[in-house]
Structure 1
Amino acid sequence: MHATPTFEVKILDERIRAWGLPRYQSAMAAAIDLFACVDQPLALAPQSPAQLIPSGLAIHIGDPSVAGLIVPRSGTGHRTGLVMGNSVGVLDADYTGPLLISAWNRNAPGSSPLVVNPGDRIAQLVFVPVVRPVLRVVEEFSRSTARGGGGFGSTGVA
């Protein structure tokens, strides 16, 4: 068992104290939910440009072997179409600024806008290990593989 790391968090929006610090929603949850710290309901039209929504937090990971990934909440993305405008946001270990959520309504044009209300849990933050290898330039790889340079779909072709 590894020791549980501790990361510093600044509360940038006092409503977080009333809503509760983001936390794991079950004993084995992989991520913490992030709140939308907007002042009033925000309508996201389908296929319109992504909007940056404050989470009300700043987190300092401070460990280069860890990164944070900001991803959609699974159910929300599937049921409503609210996903990340940048697919996945990366929180680097040395970033200490406000944690922003790039929110995008992926639904088809003509669909109803999605409304994000103050305090809605709209994204999740998962902490993942990071490997930072040294890259060594070579003319040929030291080992060959059965796949070799086979590209997209090459392992599924009969």
Structure 2
Amino acid sequence: MSLDIPVVLEDDAPAPRYALPGDAGADLTTRVDVDLAPGERRLVPTGVRIALPEGYVGLVNPRSGLAARLGLSIVNAPGTIDSGYRGEIKVALVNTDPTTPIHLTAGDRIAQLVVVPVVRATFVTVDHLDDTERGQGGHGSTGVGGDDRRAH
């Protein structure tokens, strides 16, 4: 399935691009040089503005290779680009490495944009919710050290 998305590029920024056939995420690049100290975060411009059609959202995800090799991630992963937004896509990068700074050069790939359909929910107020096996267990309740109902 293919979807035409209008794109405006600033300062000769490259358009989002899929590296390989079958890729779900299109690469976004930094428009500027960036130095991130250990633990530092920064909002990084991509020079890309898009017009997503109603019923779609853009999810900005970290690039797994950069996360594994350098500790580069996205603070609010995934970032959400709503269909009504027309501003520049900026990526909230963070250096998770405790000791090593990260240097990025303008044009480096920093994130991936995944475009997906959206289902809009109607939230209906009720007096109670149906019972489930999990119930109200959350935040590790089915894992090690939690109230693992499946282990019994």
- Cα distance in 1 for residues equivalent to 2:102 and 2:16: 22
Q: Which residue in the other structure is 1:57 paired with?
A: 48
TM-score, normalised with respect to structure 2? 0.87
Counterpart mapping for 1:84-95 below 5 A: 84-95=74-85
- Would you say 1:133 and 2:125 are equivalent positions? no
Q: Which residue in the other structure is 1:27 paired with?
A: 21
Counterpart mapping for 1:69-148 below 5 A: 69-108=59-98, 111-141=99-129, 143-148=130-135
Task: Give the deviation of 1:135 after TM superposition.
Answer: 0.6
1:31-77 deviations in Å (ceiling 9; x for gaps): 00101100xx32110012x11111111011022x2111111101111
Residues 131 and 113 (structure 1), Cα distance of their counterparts in 2 relative to 1, 3 Å cut: same
The AA in structure 2 aligned to 1:122 is I
- Cα distance in 2 for residues equivalent to 1:88 and 1:23: 18
Divergent runs of 4+, >4 A:
none
- Cα distance in 2 for residues equivalent to 1:101 and 1:55: 7
- Cα distance in 2 for residues equivalent to 1:57 and 1:144: 46
TM-score, normalised with respect to structure 1? 0.84
Secondary structure of 1:98's counterpart equals coil
Secondary structure of 1:102's counterpart equals strand
Structure 1: which 5+ runs fail to align?
A: none
Secondary structure of 1:118's counterpart equals coil
CA contact (8 A) 2:26 2:112 kept: yes
- Cα distance in 2 for residues equivalent to 1:52 and 1:154: 34
CA contact (8 A) 1:55 1:100 kept: yes
CA contact (8 A) 2:16 2:113 kept: no
User: Percent of aligned positions with the same letter in both sequences?
Assistant: 39
RMSD of Structure 2 on Structure 1 (CA)? 1.5
Structure 2: which 5+ runs fail to align?
A: none
Secondary structure of 2:49's counterpart equals strand
Residues 151 and 85 (structure 1), Cα distance of their counterparts in 2 relative to 1, 3 Å cut: closer
